[in-house]
Homo-oligomer: A and B are copies of this chain.
Amino acid sequence: MGKNKDEFVKEITNIEDDIAQWYTDIVRKADLADYTEVKGFVTIKPYGYAIWENVQKYADEKFKETGVENVYFPILIPENLLEKEKDHVEGFAPEVAWVETAGSNKLEERLCIRPTSETIISTMYSKWLNSWRDLPMVYNQWCNVIRWEKETRPFLRSREFLWQEGHTIHETEEEARNRTLQMLDIYDDLTQNLLAIPTIKGRKTPKEQFAGAEETYTIETMMYDGKALQSATSHYFGQNFSKPFEIKFQNREGKEEYAYQTSWGLSTRLIGAIIMAHGDNRGLKLPPKVAPIQVVIVPIAQHKEGVLDKANEVFAELKKNFRVKVDDRDNYSPGYKFNDWEMRGVPVRVELGPRDIANGVCVVSRRDTGDKQEVKLTELSDTIEELLVDIHNNMYAECEKRLKERTTVAHTLEEFEKQINEKQGFIKTMWCGDVACEDKIKELTAAKSRCMPFEQENLGETCVCCGKKAYRMVVWGRQY
């Protein structure tokens, strides 16, 4: 028989005691993923993968509305291609896995498993591009990549992860810059409207840019413990790749010109963001729009005549509008099931017992607040529709409240240190633009610059670190 509520909940580490262990518990006990025997490589289980499919579907539709076309480039990249752009190879070479043998044959040139595909895609663009009439090329691929990270954590930092990488080339700088920001806006919309997580949108400092980019733009989010997660990025390359890779075209004046390029990506890391932004001591808490199961129906006294029939009838009705499941397992108690689905973060639970059925009602609970209400079966579908919207908004508001409460302004390094140690979160400061100040802040506080937000505020005239003339307002934070 099922365990009682308290026993069950004890299996998850308290989030305030040890958030890292809490995270691992959720990943495994909510059946999102499991470890394999190779460090840093996880298996994404059906419940976790279904979240990813919902992210994919949402993003892919938005991409295609803007003219993105999907493609597939090889996973193996010859070493000579990786080396063509100096910053890029420096950034990625320490993390790439190399194939040197196939079958029993040593390869003539070793091939790396893509850590990202700028080099192979630039090579092909160079081959395909002739005239301004061929532009733009706005391609994207959904695929796996490998980066041999030292510290790993399921979803947040895996040696293999799934992502989409968009790569575009354009006739003009302006068009490429617009595309960079257009895709950032899609990521921003997705993070807020699908995942119910508020964002800070801005530009990375040069130190934190993608290896080879001229500018990197980012969507930054705050997790449960006040740490930052970089949720998606969009890069403007200018001609940094098009020159070494010779991506040239005849422009409208008949002259040879190098194309302007972008790339942009989001990954299965977003599943980690969902866990860390919304979860609590009862487990996972899924935003309704991305939840694989939006409504779970738990029959009470399901052995009694008519209960399962009615549950299935309600299921058939709700299935028209929602992702819904009946939990008719006969070897667990309703109490166990309640806890189980709470732990898995299902937004709405419907309880249905013999007395409810006789009265034409059911009990509806929401995962975010725990509130329960009795609802007429005839009004159930409408009620759930409203509830899901309300749950999304409430989850977003909770995160927004935290983001506000844990974002503070610092004018001096002493304030900075004190604030980040007392109330781990984001610190807003003015900054001179010098990487030395970033390095010093990181050394002192373990915080990195998250971005120079688009929404700049004037917090003073001088850099928080060196006191020299300020260049921009920066948001800082410790990161996942």
Give the B-binding residues of A (Cβ under 8 A).
Answer: 34, 36-38, 41-46, 49-50, 52-53, 69-76, 78, 81, 93-104, 111, 113, 120, 123-124, 127-128, 133, 139, 143-144, 146, 148, 160, 162, 331
- Find out whether the CB atom of A73 lies under 8 angstroms from the CB atom of B331: no
How many Å lie between the Cα of A128 and that of B31 in the bound state? 11
Contacts of A45 in B (CB 8 A): 71
- Give the nearest-CB partner of A161 in chain B: B72
Asked whether A72 and B50 contact (CB < 8 A) given A38-B78, A148-B102, the answer is no
Which 10 pairs from chain A and chain B are nearest by CB? A46-B69, A41-B74, A102-B148, A44-B72, A98-B101, A97-B102, A94-B103, A97-B99, A49-B70, A43-B73
Q: Point out the residues of chain B lying under 8 angstroms from A95, CB to CB.
A: 102-103
A350 to chain B, nearest CB (A): 22
Interchain CB contact under 8 A, A331 and B133:
yes
Residue ID in chain B nearest A60 by CB atoms:
B53
**Which chain B positions have C-beta within 8 A of A120?**
36
A94 to B44 alpha-carbon distance, docked (Å): 29
Contact A38–B74 (Cβ < 8 Å): yes
| Minimum C-beta distance from A58 to chain B (A) | 16
Contact in complex: B123, A37 (CB < 8 Å) = yes
Classify the secondary structure of A's interface with B.
mixed
Q: A38-B111, A72-B49, A144-B143 are in contact. Are A100 and B103 (CB under 8 A)?
A: no
Q: Which residues of B contact A100 (CB under 8 A)?
A: 98, 100-101
Copies of this chain, how many? 2
Name 25 interchain pairs, CB-CB below 8 A, sorted by A: A34-B127, A37-B78, A37-B81, A37-B123, A43-B74, A43-B124, A46-B69, A46-B70, A49-B69, A49-B70, A50-B70, A72-B162, A74-B160, A75-B113, A75-B146, A76-B97, A93-B103, A94-B104, A95-B102, A96-B102, A99-B99, A100-B100, A100-B101, A102-B148, A144-B144
Q: How far is the CB of A56 from chain B (nearest CB, A)?
A: 10
Instruction: Report the Cα distance A111→B97, complex, angstroms.
Output: 10
* A162 nearest in chain B by CB position: B72
CB distance from A136 to the nearest CB of B (A): 12
Closest to A53 in B: B70
Instruction: Provide the residues of chain B in CB contact with A146, threshold 8 Å.
Output: 75-76
B71 near A36: Cβ-Cβ < 8 Å? no
Known: A49-B70, A49-B71. 17 other contacts (CB 8 A): A34-B124, A36-B74, A38-B76, A41-B76, A43-B72, A43-B73, A43-B124, A44-B73, A46-B139, A52-B72, A75-B144, A75-B146, A76-B97, A96-B102, A96-B103, A98-B101, A133-B331
Give A132 to B37 CA distance when docked, in angstroms: 25
Known: A97-B99, A103-B93, A123-B36. A160 touches B75 (CB 8 A): yes
Which of A53, A93, A103, A124 is the most central at the interface, judged by chain B CB atoms within 10 Å of its CB? A103
How far apart are A98's CB and chain B's nearest CB, in angstroms?
4
Shortest Cβ distance from A357 into chain B, in angstroms? 27
The residue from B37, B46, B49, B71 contacting A43, defined by CB atoms under 8 A apart? B71
Q: How far is the CB of A115 from chain B (nearest CB, A)?
A: 10
| B residues near A139, Cβ cutoff 8 Å | 46
